[in-house]
Structure 1
C-alpha cells in the first residue's frame, strides 16, 4: 500500500520576512515534513524574460536569501524535516563549490538534504553568470554528473564539454547520496529526469498537465518516478488529486511575510492538513 502524500512548506525566504531559524522550528513543531527553498542570485534591472506566473515579477524575487545558507541555519535547529532546494539554479553555480555546500548541509543535518535543481527561466540572470542560454541544458546535465562524482568518488574527476577537472579530493562527503529532483515542465525535463534517474519537482500544475508528464517519465524509466511539488495551494481537493497521481511530497506555498503572519498561516495550514488526514 502506497504511503500517503507528505506535506512540507515551500517559500522564498527574504530579508524582510520570517527568519530561517524561526521558520524551520515552526515547520517542524507543527508536524510538517520538509522546508523547500527557492533560489535567485539576483534580478537584473533590465529584463525581457517574461515571469512564468504572468504579470509583474513579485517583490519577493528581489529579496531572496541564499538557499544553502538558509538550509544550514534550518539544519542547526531541527532534527526531522527534510531540507530541500526547490530549485537550486545549477546553471548559475560552480559545481565544485555547490557539491561542497550541499554535502556540508547534508552532514550538518544528519542526512536530510534533498537536491532540487533546474535551469530556471530568467535569461538575463543566467547570462550574468556567463551561461549561454542555448547550451544551458547540456551544462545542467554535466554539472549534475560532476556533483554526483564529487559526492561519491575520492578522488573525483570529471571531463565534459563544460565541466572539466582532474582527479581532486573534495570533502565532506554527504551522509547519504542526496536525492536529486529536477524542475521544469518540458520534453527536455522528462529526458533529464530519465538520464539521471532522478525525481521530478513540479510546480502546482493542473492534473491534465501533470499526468502525461508523469507517465512519460515512468515509461522512460521503467518504474515509478519520485514526485515532489513546490508551491502547492492550500486546497484539499487538489491534494487528493496529486496524491492519486503518486506525489510523495507536496510543499504548501507560504507567502514571504513577517514572523507573526507566517506563524499564523502555518497554524492554519497545519489544521487543514490534520483535517485532511482525518
Structure 2
C-alpha cells in the first residue's frame, strides 16, 4: 500500500513545511488541490457535500496546481505529487501536457496527473470552453496529454482538437501515470479505458465497494489484466486492519487527511498540530503496514 497525504484550502505558507514533514514521516505522495476561480454568483452545487452547498469555498486560498506541485517538488527529494483532481477539459490540453511533462522531468518522475471533469458550468465559461460534450472533450484531452508526454512526435485529429505532429522536450524518462477521478459510470469507464488508475473522493463504504466491483467488471470486459492504480479516501485507511481490508479489495493507494475542509471560514488549525497528526498516523499506520 502507498500513502498519500491530503491537505487543501489551508494557509499557503503551510504547504512547504507540510510536504517536508510528510516526506520525513514516510508518506509516498501528497495531493495537490485544484481550483481556478470562485464566481460571485452561481446556482451550481458541489457533488461531495451532503447538501450540495459550495459556499465553504468562498475566500479559500488555492495556489495554482502546477505552481504548487513544482514548489513542493523543489523542496523534497522522494515525495510524489498528484492533483486531486485537475479540471482537465477546461484547460488547453497541449499546455497541460507541457506542464505535466516538464514537472515530471524536472522532479525525477515524481508527478502523476489526476484529472476530472469540473461539475460547474462557470469553470468552463470563464475559460472559454463549451460545457456541452465535456465528457468527449475530456476523452480527447487525456489522449493528447498521454501522447505528448510519451516523447517523440505526436499529432491528433479529433472532434475538438487537431494538430500536426509536435514534440515536447524534455520528456520524462518514465511514463506519467494519468488517473481519473469521479464516481459516475462514465468516469469509471474512462478510468479503465483511457488511464492508469482511478481516484475516489470519499463517501459511503458500500458505494465504494460497488464502484470497485464495477471497475473489476469493466477491466474484465475490456480484457485488461495489467497494473491499475486505485486511490481511495476511506475511513478504513486510518487503521492497520482497515488497510488490510482495502488491500484485499485491490486498493493500491490510500488518501488521508486529518481535518474536514468543507466548512466556511479560514483553516485555523495550527501548523504544529497538522505535523503532529501526520507524524502520529505514520507511526501508528504507515510503519505497521509496510
Partner of 2:2: 6
Larger strand proportion, structure 1 or 2? Answer: 1
**1:225 maps to 2:228:** yes
Q: 1:230 Cα deviation (Å)?
A: 4.7
- Counterpart pick for 1:213 among 211, 214, 225: 211
Which residue of the partner structure matches residue 40 of structure 2?
45
Measured in 2, the distance between the counterparts of 1:230 and 1:104 equals 28
- 2:85 is matched with which residue: 75, 87, 91? 87
Task: Check conservation: 1:9, 1:35, Cα contact below 8 A.
Answer: yes
Contact 1:214/1:225 (8 A) holds in 2: no
Deviation of 1:155 after TM superposition, in Å, equals: 2.3
Change in 2 beyond 3 A, CA 1:231/1:244? closer
- Report what 2:254 is aligned to: 250
Aligned residues: 273
1:14-44, CA deviations, whole angstroms, 9 ceiling, x for partnerless residues? 4x24433212111101111110112011111
Do the aligned partners of residues 153 and 33 (structure 1) sit closer, same or farther apart at CA in structure 2, a change above 3 Å counting? closer
SS in structure 2 of the partner of residue 130 of structure 1: coil
Q: Aligned-pair distance for 1:167?
A: 2.0
What is the TM-score with the length of structure 2 in the denominator?
0.85
Q: Mean alpha-carbon deviation: is it higher for 144-153 or for 121-130?
A: 121-130
Q: Give secondary structure in 1 for the equivalent of 2:103.
A: helix
Q: TM-score, normalised by structure 1?
A: 0.88
Aligned 1:27-42 pairs, distance under 5 A: 27-42=22-37
Aligned to 1:99: 97
Task: String of CA shifts for 1:139-184, please: whole Å, max 9, x gaps.
Answer: 1100110111111242221111111112223222122111111000
With over 3 angstroms needed to count, the CA separation of the structure-2 counterparts of 1:226 and 1:275, relative to structure 1, is closer
Aligned-residue offset at 1:60 = 7.3
* Separation in structure 1 between the aligned mates of residue 173 and residue 4 of structure 2, nearest angstrom: 22
Q: Check whether the contact 1:111–1:174 (CA below 8 A) recurs between aligned residues.
A: yes
Quote the offset at 1:115 in angstroms: 0.9
| Larger CA deviation: 55-64 vs 240-249 | 55-64
Q: Distance in 1 between matches of 2:121 and 2:236?
A: 27
Inter-partner Cα distance in structure 1 for 2:91 and 2:81: 19
SS at match of 1:49: coil
Task: Give the C-alpha shift of residue 243 in structure 1.
Answer: 2.8
Which residue is equivalent to 2:117?
Answer: 119
Separation of aligned partners in 1, 2:284 and 2:160: 47
In the aligned structure 2, how far is the partner of 1:220 from the partner of 1:144? 19
Deviation, structure 1 residue 48? 1.1
5+ residue gaps, structure 1:
none
1:189-214, Cα deviation, whole Å (9 max, x unpaired): 12212321431101123332122222
